[in-house]
Structure 1
Amino acid sequence: MTQFSITLTFRWLMALGAICQSFMVQAQYPGQASDKLKVAVTVPIKAYSFNLQDVRVTKGPFKENMEREGKWLLSLPVDRLMHSFRVNAGMNTPKPGSPTKMPKPLGGWEGLDMELRGHSIGHILSGLALQHASTGNEVFKKKGDSLVTALAEVQSVLNQDGYLSAYPQQYIDRNIAATSVWAPWYTLHKLFAGLTDQYTYAGNQQALAIESKMASWANKKLSPLSAEQLQKMLRNEFGGMNDAFFNLYALTGNPDHLKLAQLFYHKAALEPLEAGKDNLNKAHANTFIPKLVGEARDYELTGNEKAKTAATFFWNTVVQHHTYAHGGNSDKEHFFEPDKISEHLTGNTSETCNTYNMLKLTRHLFTWSAEEKYAEYYERALYNHILGQQDPESGMVCYFTPMKPGAYRLYSTPDQSFWCCVGSGFESQSKFGEAIYYHNDTGVFVNLFIPSELTWKEKGVSIVQDTNFPEEATTRLTIQTKAPIHMPLYLRYPAWATAGVTLNVNGKAVTVKQQPGSYITVDRVWRAGDQVELTYPMTLRLVQTNDNPNVAAVAYGPIVLAGEAGKENMKGTAPFHDPADPYQYYGYDYTIPETVSHTIDTEGKPVTSWLKPVVGKPLTFQTATATANKPIELEPYYKVHQQRYVVYWDLK
């Protein structure tokens, strides 16, 4: 494998100009322009991301989700978002009775009495930048510019060596002293990442200046600490601070930023993973996952093989032993014993932030090896968990996606929730174009079947993907190019496509020798208007829990199905707002009626015998025999909103 170095040939430099941005990994950093990078990737790479702005999602549920999320982002006034920052800086705020109206403080986890306040503004900076890159709409850039300008003003007024936050430095001091405080570095990570995204995707130079000043403060704050003090500090959740500083180092080349990234190496969490030990039982999942995203970035920028080992082992362990059918993980935010899924079908499963971060890590690992298994997981988690996070009726999002039979989703509110999953949702729902396509020096990987248009400027070629997947099994790729071009297409042959594949190029059948779980290569000279038609018939299958084959979910192709269980006794849908008890959802009572059944008598027959398609309703199935005195209808889990559902069934 070719090593990237300063001795790259001109041809490779041209290719790198299109793609080196993909390694600013909060994995969504394919918008990183090459002229912004001061430190290149030093390890072998098999697939590169495209710039996010070079992929447009053109229709379908992903585009609809993105549009709803964009409206929410634009609806939040800058004055309200900045209020806690300005209060912390002692800046003038209108008095009662003043002709200038006092901004209404945000609620939930952004309330002035919440120690995590300020985290959402970092996510919003990212969300606005991602929306700008994904759509080209300047309104998102203007809103981001306004926030960045306001943050620069607060940083100047604070005048604390570059420190910037919605809470005082005492929170950091408490963390360093290993006394109780709610994750101040986690909150700062969101700001660092948001400012990087504003610089990367929206070209905001002021954002990088603010972030560099913040890094100078952090260097001054942390450099005097002993190794013991640092490790005690790192026991508290710090998000992806290592990732943020590695990314900043790639932008600036400043060795202080590399040193800061390495200071956030948490030995107790990472050393066992480097040794191949599953140390996840009882660990807080979203405290762990971002650390491994940072480890992946460490490997890419420094060649640290231990970091690669830890990241790869962690991903395999989580996906194989700790993951539900829809791609999510954790119960009450924590990992549990491996291979115990059936024992953890509760109302507190699958924190959405976890999947957001697992997808970041997955993108890293895919670029290293271009293995289909990473694309398979990405598709599964994206369609079933991330797409299903947002309620299409209100545009609000979920914290958990309960696996408890008969439970239902609980949604945020527009300005009174701001849980961590609201913040990560601002990003997840704004960047659906990031993992559809990848490329190497010569060809394009087609990983996801989402209607979209790719423009590969450096090659002078575009690919238009037209499909109604997953409601249809066929996707069509049309090549647009001014001149004939020799270019291989690497078409993902999903592991779930066990019924085979039909492939046509310009209407002529092509024999496929590959097997599911690989890539089909179509290597030829393409001309304008050439078309590839690819069909993967989907089939029903059981996704059994890894500890009990008689407890299983049902999937159709990559799509997890859920049984509709009615709306009886459903309570309000946004209870998690009490600052005195931010984790009150752990005890939420779904008051599941006794009439909700999650048992199916299969008589030992295959799933196709007892589950039949409903005519005229795509992706919808019905039990062939009555269950609890009536047939049960199943449809995609991502579509089941504002009602109870069953994902996992007891099979008899």
Structure 2
Amino acid sequence: MARLLCFALALALPLRVLAASPKKNVTDIVPGLYENQMAFTAASWYLPYQSKLTDTENATTWVQIDLGSNASPVEQVQIYPLVQPHYWPETMPYVSFAFPSRWKVEADDTDSFNNPTMLIDRTGEDQPNPRDTIQTIPVDRKQSAGRRYLRFTATKLGISIDGQHYQLGLSKLSALSDGTDIAEGKEVAVDSALGNSGVVNLGSDPYNADLPISNSSALTRPPRAMGEGVITDNPENVIDPKDWNPPQLLASTPLSGVKLGDGVIKTAMVDNIGYLLNDSMGSVDKLVHDFLARAGKPTPSNLNYPVGYWAQYQGSNAARFLMGASNTLRWIDNDELRSRMEAVVATIAECAEPDGFIMGYPQDQMFLGEHAAYTRAWLTHGLIDTGLTGIKKAFTLLRGYYDWYNKYPLLKHLMRGSVQGAQGMVANTLMALSPVGTPRDANVVQQYFQMNFWRDGLAARDPSMIWQYPYDHPHTYLSTNMEAYADLYLLTGDQRYHDMLLGYWELFYKHWIHIGGSTAIVEFGQYPPDSYRLDGLTGELCGNSFWIRLNQRLHWLDPDNEAYTNQIEQSVYNVVLANQNGDKGIIYHAHLVGQKDFEDPAVSAYGNGMINTCCEGQGTRTLGSLAEFIFSRANDRSGIYVNLFDTAAITWSTPDNHNATLSMKTQFPFHNDVHMTFASSSESPVRANIRIRVPSWAARPMQLSINHSNTTITGYPGSYLSVDRKWSSGDTVSFILPAEYHLEKYTGEYEIPGHSRYALEYGPVLMGFAGALSNASISVSGSKPSSLIDMLQGSGQPLHSSIPGYDSYEVMPYWQIGHQNFTCFPVLDVAS
């Protein structure tokens, strides 16, 4: 069943349970990890408070809360530090910024604090930094009785996030009375000297410069749905495997049996091979360096990391290679690619620890950076797909590792105690679906990672569940979290997962997918529904890689719903191909105006010079997989689905065990004619249902020709046209894809007052105006904006055009634009 990968085998294997082990403190397992950690906050409803910056730590600033005229006595004060994720390996993942080393908490019956009562006094000597731990401090009820106002005063400030100034930073303040936070929702005031009232964009954080990063009202915000800490342990979420009832899948993805001819997809996949083999970090000794180092074995003396190289995720370089190479080798043979892949797997096996641990970092560094999720998921993806190429050792290694991981004593810390820990969920669910999976692989996700509030909120189509996701980063990576929930549905059949999945898809498609198909949400920045930002942080390749996989799973469940393959197609043309720099590299963001995000070795690690990024890893994985999206197989063996249009052939087995092959020839999108030829191993006609996609972008109904004769078989846009008949070898199907130029009006934050911006598309292909500035304006010589289409003049190269009066512009597929300035959203003003 495609990437269900021998589900029956998974159920047949014994359930592994947590092994009993002596209780250890977290710091015994991972030095530097703390109990009572606070989960990171990033969305604007949960942003921290930060005072104004000052050049000296010896300054005073305060925040105070009006508890109300009939406030109950306070018994405990909870102080939540300002925490930020720290991506580099020198520290544990969360560190506290701007927490004062000297401070006090007072109460008074007036807001002027002329006669305060001291509740907590830490002003006599410097206090240790609380890092990312919530401070809960008891106070004397009698001292606060009858006091309406509570004030936190910093008398010696902490270091600011920029590392160059001082300020007060807090995420939340709670005043507990009989276990209830009586400060929740109450009015907050700040001092006039250094205080920041309301939501203020400080613009001082290199990670969050785009955000309004001070929010005084957030100090009394309600608690998040699953609390403020990092511990997640909900055994009641586990569905007993005996109660699993997997849904029927109607289609599956071919893992083999597809041959590529000359076309757009094969060109991209061959370029991806060049990228993998010619990468400066792609030699075997560099790919395996981290595993050898962790095992204490000899390593190359100097890796010579390129400028901006992402080296902090030990093992990700090898994982990136495995993801790209293993997927590619299922479709295109390459001896060098295979030999390197085999050598990498052999070294990982050589360096495996007796307990099964195989990662490229030591066990006690699980919480450093994004090791726990990002790096673990990458290596899992790579080894699963390597196993599918026939290297069974990859599956053996994974099974040993997940037997270790499923007993890891700190599982309840991982989702929120490590950076973006939820993105590791998909590693476990893919293992559960693999040929060596066990139900325990999925149960671990249910117990330690499942978020019922998110499940139910998405099912209810609540958009805040995406752009105000309350833990870690509201991010395009939410789509890979959703992959895991989709897998849980495929495994268990629990309808609540299915409702969540459809709710997420509907919300994301309606509010966070750009014209052209790229994702319109990236970590940190503000991305409310329908914001559709066009430059800077938008269109992350990771996001569309995950979006493709999510739509693929939905296609298995409902293959006649053309919307899912439409999203895959747009992602391929307008993001995956657009972010591929030939055989030289893979781009991070799909900017839609300005300039593309090309690699520039002279730029620092915070600019375009990033190498081994998340988008390179997921990009090479997706590029290596492109062949699997062209066709899918009907699981009842009745036939196939034709999803994308390129020169390729698929072979499948008919119900009477004959081999059938459908060969497709086309040069789409440069030419619209498509020709298919049927062949089989049977001397007699073979019954097969060939379902041909009629894309939603089709300008008109699509009529088929069978064996060069016109028919009455007509398909309508946004559907699959079923041709169910007896086929003889040599039978043909021909049609013209009804692709035409069309305009779509832009709405979003980058609208220009008094003008209208439009995107030009040809079928699924987003067009770019090369040579134009971001906000270019074109005067259309007609009565409406669509008159632009009549102005286009062919330049001799398919889908390349010029515009009279705009000699410096060339209209071409966005994916073919290089280093020049461009826009995909010009202003089109009708000439008066």
Coarse TM-score class (shorter-chain normalised): 0.7 to 0.9
Match of 2:246 among 42, 61, 66: 42
**Conserved in 2, the CA contact under 8 Å of 1:613 and 1:622?**
yes
Select the structure of larger CA radius of gyration. 2
Match of 2:392 among 197, 205, 208: 205
Give the stretch that moved more between structures: 436-445 or 42-51: 42-51
- In structure 2, C-alpha distance between the alignment counterparts of 1:365 and 1:528, rounded to whole Å: 33
Structure 1 partner of 2:691? 490
The answer to whether structure 1 residue 330 and structure 2 residue 524 are counterparts is no
Cα RMSD over matched residues? 2.8
Structure 1 partner of 2:20? none
Match of 1:600 among 774, 778, 788: 778
**Conserved in 2, the CA contact under 8 Å of 1:240 and 1:293?**
no
**Conserved in 2, the CA contact under 8 Å of 1:485 and 1:527?**
yes
Q: Tell me the amino acid that sits aligned with residue 527 of structure 1.
A: S
Structure 2 partner of 1:140? 337
**Conserved in 2, the CA contact under 8 Å of 1:544 and 1:552?**
yes
Match of 1:59 among 262, 276, 295: 262
Structure 2 partner of 1:172? 366
Match of 2:798 among 600, 618, 633: 618
The answer to whether structure 1 residue 307 and structure 2 residue 497 are counterparts is yes
Map 1:132-531 → 2, pairs under 5 A: 132-156=329-353, 159=354, 161-173=355-367, 181-182=369-370, 184-199=372-387, 201-222=388-409, 229=413, 232-233=416-417, 236-238=419-421, 240-250=423-433, 251-262=435-446, 263-267=448-452, 269-278=454-463, 279-281=465-467, 283-333=473-523, 336-341=527-532, 344-370=533-559, 371-392=561-582, 394-404=583-593, 406-411=594-599, 417-440=611-634, 441=636, 442-457=638-653, 458-483=657-682, 484-531=685-732
Q: Tell me the amino acid that sits aligned with residue 48 of structure 1.
A: S
Larger fraction in strand: 2
Report how far residue 35 of structure 1 moved: 7.4
* Cα displacement string for residues 346-382 of structure 1 (whole angstroms, at most 9, x for unaligned residues): 1322110110010000000111111011111111111
* Cα displacement string for residues 75-108 of structure 1 (whole angstroms, at most 9, x for unaligned residues): 42111111122223322236xxxxxxx3525446
**Conserved in 2, the CA contact under 8 Å of 1:129 and 1:197?**
yes
**Conserved in 1, the CA contact under 8 Å of 2:356 and 2:404?**
yes
**Local SS of the residue matching 2:352:** helix
**Local SS of the residue matching 2:696:** coil
- In structure 2, C-alpha distance between the alignment counterparts of 1:255 and 1:302, rounded to whole Å: 10
**Local SS of the residue matching 1:553:** strand
**Conserved in 1, the CA contact under 8 Å of 2:691 and 2:722?**
yes
Q: Whose relative contact order is higher, 1 or 2, with alpha carbons under 8 Å and at least 6 apart? A: 1
**Conserved in 1, the CA contact under 8 Å of 2:704 and 2:714?**
no
The answer to whether structure 1 residue 22 and structure 2 residue 209 are counterparts is no
**Conserved in 2, the CA contact under 8 Å of 1:239 and 1:287?**
no
Runs of 4+ in 1 over 6 A off after TM superposition: 32-37, 412-416
Distance 1:272 1:361, change over 3 A: same
Distance 1:382 1:411, change over 3 A: same
Distance 1:427 1:461, change over 3 A: same
- In structure 1, C-alpha distance between the alignment counterparts of 2:296 and 2:422, rounded to whole Å: 27
TM-score, length-scaled by structure 2? 0.64
Distance 1:238 1:108, change over 3 A: farther
**Local SS of the residue matching 1:265:** coil
**Conserved in 2, the CA contact under 8 Å of 1:83 and 1:103?**
no
- In structure 1, C-alpha distance between the alignment counterparts of 2:588 and 2:813, rounded to whole Å: 19
- In structure 2, C-alpha distance between the alignment counterparts of 1:36 and 1:461, rounded to whole Å: 30
**Conserved in 2, the CA contact under 8 Å of 1:80 and 1:106?**
no
Match of 2:326 among 99, 115, 129: 129
Report how far residue 443 of structure 1 moved: 1.8
Distance 1:605 1:470, change over 3 A: same
* Cα displacement string for residues 132-167 of structure 1 (whole angstroms, at most 9, x for unaligned residues): 1011445433322111110112223xx5x3223232
Distance 1:285 1:152, change over 3 A: same
**Local SS of the residue matching 2:663:** strand
**Local SS of the residue matching 1:633:** strand
Distance 1:256 1:316, change over 3 A: same
* Cα displacement string for residues 94-133 of structure 1 (whole angstroms, at most 9, x for unaligned residues): 6xxxxxxx3525446766xx43232232232122211110
Structure 2 partner of 1:639? 816
Q: Tell me the amino acid that sits aligned with residue 72 of structure 1.
A: Y
Distance 1:313 1:542, change over 3 A: same
- In structure 2, C-alpha distance between the alignment counterparts of 1:480 and 1:437, rounded to whole Å: 16
Q: Tell me the amino acid that sits aligned with residue 633 of structure 1.
A: E
**Conserved in 2, the CA contact under 8 Å of 1:330 and 1:336?**
yes
Structure 1 partner of 2:129? none
Report how far residue 329 of structure 1 moved: 1.3
Report how far residue 21 of structure 1 moved: 2.8
Report how far residue 33 of structure 1 moved: 10
The answer to whether structure 1 residue 91 and structure 2 residue 285 are counterparts is no
Distance 1:499 1:525, change over 3 A: same
- In structure 2, C-alpha distance between the alignment counterparts of 1:347 and 1:650, rounded to whole Å: 19
Report how far residue 550 of structure 1 moved: 2.0
* Cα displacement string for residues 253-289 of structure 1 (whole angstroms, at most 9, x for unaligned residues): 5333222232332456444213321122255323311
Q: Tell me the amino acid that sits aligned with residue 165 of structure 1.
A: M
* Cα displacement string for residues 419-443 of structure 1 (whole angstroms, at most 9, x for unaligned residues): 1111112211112111111122202
**Conserved in 1, the CA contact under 8 Å of 2:776 and 2:823?**
yes
Q: Tell me the amino acid that sits aligned with residue 599 of structure 1.
A: S
Report how far residue 192 of structure 1 moved: 1.5
Report how far residue 243 of structure 1 moved: 2.3
* Cα displacement string for residues 423-474 of structure 1 (whole angstroms, at most 9, x for unaligned residues): 1122111121111111222021111101101111454101110000001111
**Conserved in 2, the CA contact under 8 Å of 1:141 and 1:202?**
no
Larger fraction in helix: 1
Distance 1:359 1:215, change over 3 A: same
**Conserved in 2, the CA contact under 8 Å of 1:238 and 1:287?**
no
Give aligned pairs, total: 567
